[in-house]
Amino acid sequence: MLAPTQILDQLKARLVETLDALPLVDGNEREGGGHSALVSVILSLPRLPTGAPQLDGRQFQFLHGHGTEIRAGYGCAAEWEAEGTNRLQALASVADALRGRWHRADPDESGFDAFAMLGFAASAEASPQVEDHLPNAILWVPEIGLRVHEGDAALVLSAILPTNRARLRACWTAALERLVPNLYRPFPDPFMTASLERDFAEPDFGGWSTLVDDALARIADGGLKKVVLSRRLDVTGPRCFDIGRLVGALGCLFPSCQIVNLRRNGKSFVAATPERLLSQRGTRLTVDAIAGTAVRAETVERDAELTLALRNSDKNLREHQFVIDAITEALSNCCDRIATPAQPQVMQLSNAQHLWSPIEAVPRSGNNVFQLAERLHPTPATNGQPRDRAREWLRVGEPFDRGWYTGAAGIIEPDLTGELWVLLRCARVCANRAELYAGGGIVAGSDAVSEWDETEAKLQAMLTALQYA
């Protein structure tokens, strides 16, 4: 087995061999083209990493299945920000212009490709909170990326054009030296559990009850069918939270969830989400409809009773159907062969179980991740139905700006396919402080106490992990 220093030396040598063949001035640049161009080199890793390490500086990680599926990025080769109602269209224009101007070399024939991170806040209209470290929407190409899939791994080195070989060799060598030794360090063990102090909650239970009553009145008069109310909880711990340990704890507690970490300006936005907004692979599109929730029980017998009750709950089935109907309607004008399961499955997590229907479709030619995300976000699972009325009701009624909670983030391929995840079970973390978010869907038949209990169960996901960080 190669030692990390040997792997680093091997990668450096492979990089030098590859640099001579790279086009470091894009053809359109020479003609005075106004669009950016990128160059990337994909280098196979001869040994699987132990995980996606936490380094100083800007980074993102998407991890699934105890690290068997990893997409991570460190530093910045290029990025574009946008805000307002046309934010995804603006970023789509950038990505589309790059499609023929992203030069990739895969000398090891790894089969992997370069990638970017796309992410955006819940609302296109609201500016991020003053203390937020993330812009409203961003397309981000990392300087060095890590991909792990089905037992293979590769690094992706990227840079914006034009550049020169000396500069590129120096920058990419430094990036390899920062990252590679950390790829093979033992995964950090969790700390002993620590007590967390609840500092601030918005709304409190009284405010929550009022919001639920107002929502039910709006539903009763026909203005809404469903609306998703959210809570924010601020906590402090006795030590600075260790993001690596937090990500590791979430991966152990919720192995079927996508673990997300977006870190900029010394702050991390961390999520353990079960819900794909969409996954587009070639001609196949998958969208998760997740709505209708029950808690888990300590005994197998009681847990089975709760699962059966969830499957047969009129209230939860109606809530779930709203999401299915909205997704199929959103896809009807851009996709063919839309297939919905006859009955929802039950997705069981360690702290909750949800009704889940994976919806399959075939996107028509010309529809990419950006356009599909525009159609699908926000779904009734995080916003409500009808979409525009629910969004307006929440804009006025909810006592805080959600920021990136219930937004989306994921990986975009150079051909504009990819995968986006709805940002749920979230926390914004800085030093020993964390701001947690969770919500619950209100439909006819909901009551404030049971919905509050549901949000407590959802908050417990991140609270438990933070105790070990």
Dihedral (C-alpha) 253, 352, 408, 219: value to the nearest 10 degrees? -170
Q: Among 183, 208, 226, where does a domain finish? A: 183
pLDDT at 429: 96
The distance from CA 335 to its chain's CA centroid, rounded to whole angstroms, is 23
Is pLDDT above 90 for 28?
Answer: no
Q: What is the mean pLDDT of residues 337-355?
A: 93
- Residues 360 and 436 both lie in one domain: yes
End-to-end CA distance of the chain: 31
Burial 219-256 (b: 16+ CB within 10 A, else e): beeeebbbbbbbbbbbbebeeebbbbbbbbbbbebbee
Is pLDDT above 60 for 128?
Answer: no
How many CA atoms lie within 13 Å of 433's alpha carbon, on the beta-carbon side? 9
45: pLDDT confidence band, cut at 50, 70 and 90? very high
Percent of the chain with pLDDT over 70: 96
pLDDT at 30: 43
Percent of the chain with pLDDT over 90: 85
Distance CA 224, CA 441 (A): 12
pLDDT at 29: 47
Q: How many domains does the chain have?
A: 2
Which token pair is 271? 């999520």
pLDDT at 10: 96
- Residues 64 and 166 both lie in one domain: yes
Specify if 314 maps to a domain: yes
Specify if 193 maps to a domain: no
The distance from CA 208 to its chain's CA centroid, rounded to whole angstroms, is 27
Q: Among 151, 183, 215, where does a domain finish? A: 183
Instruction: Give this prediction's pTM.
Output: 0.94
pLDDT in tens, 89-127: 999 999 999 998 999 999 999 999 999 999 999 998 765
Distance CA 247, CA 11 (A): 28
Other beta carbons less than 10 A from residue 186's beta carbon: 7
Specify if 420 maps to a domain: yes
- Residues 101 and 204 both lie in one domain: no
Q: What is the mean pLDDT of residues 52-68?
A: 91
Is pLDDT above 70 for 132?
Answer: no
188: pLDDT confidence band, cut at 50, 70 and 90? confident
Q: Nearest-CA neighbor of 60 among 183, 151, 145?
A: 145
Pairing of strands 102-105, 37-44: parallel
Is pLDDT above 70 for 32?
Answer: no
Specify if 234 maps to a domain: yes
- Residues 247 and 314 both lie in one domain: yes
pLDDT at 34: 54
Residue 173, CA distances (Å) to 12, 19, 46, 144, 194 in order: 7, 12, 18, 10, 40
| Unique residue bearing structure tokens 């995968």 | 419
Distance CA 258, CA 273 (A): 5
- Residues 262 and 371 both lie in one domain: yes
Q: Nearest-CA neighbor of 167 among 13, 25, 9?
A: 25
- Residues 261 and 134 both lie in one domain: no
Specify if 361 maps to a domain: yes
Structural domain containing residue 383: 198-467
- Higher-confidence position of 187 and 225: 225
Distance CA 69, CA 85 (A): 33
Q: Nearest-CA neighbor of 208 among 235, 236, 234, 228?
A: 228
- Residues 212 and 340 both lie in one domain: yes
Annotated active-site positions, please?
Answer: 226, 275
Q: Assign 175 to helix, strand or coil.
A: helix
Distance CA 137, CA 39 (A): 23
Q: Among 160, 183, 206, where does a domain finish? A: 183
Q: What is the mean pLDDT of residues 154-167?
A: 94
pLDDT at 130: 47
Q: Is there a contact between 87 and 120 (Cβ–Cβ < 8 Å)?
A: yes
Specify if 240 maps to a domain: yes
- Residues 122 and 268 both lie in one domain: no
pLDDT at 267: 93
Q: Is there a contact between 116 and 436 (Cβ–Cβ < 8 Å)?
A: no
pLDDT in tens, 100-110: 899 999 999 99
- Residues 268 and 137 both lie in one domain: no
Give the gyration radius of the chain's Cα atoms: 23
Other beta carbons less than 10 A from residue 270's beta carbon: 27
187: pLDDT confidence band, cut at 50, 70 and 90? confident
Mean pLDDT of the chain: 93
- Residues 308 and 246 both lie in one domain: yes
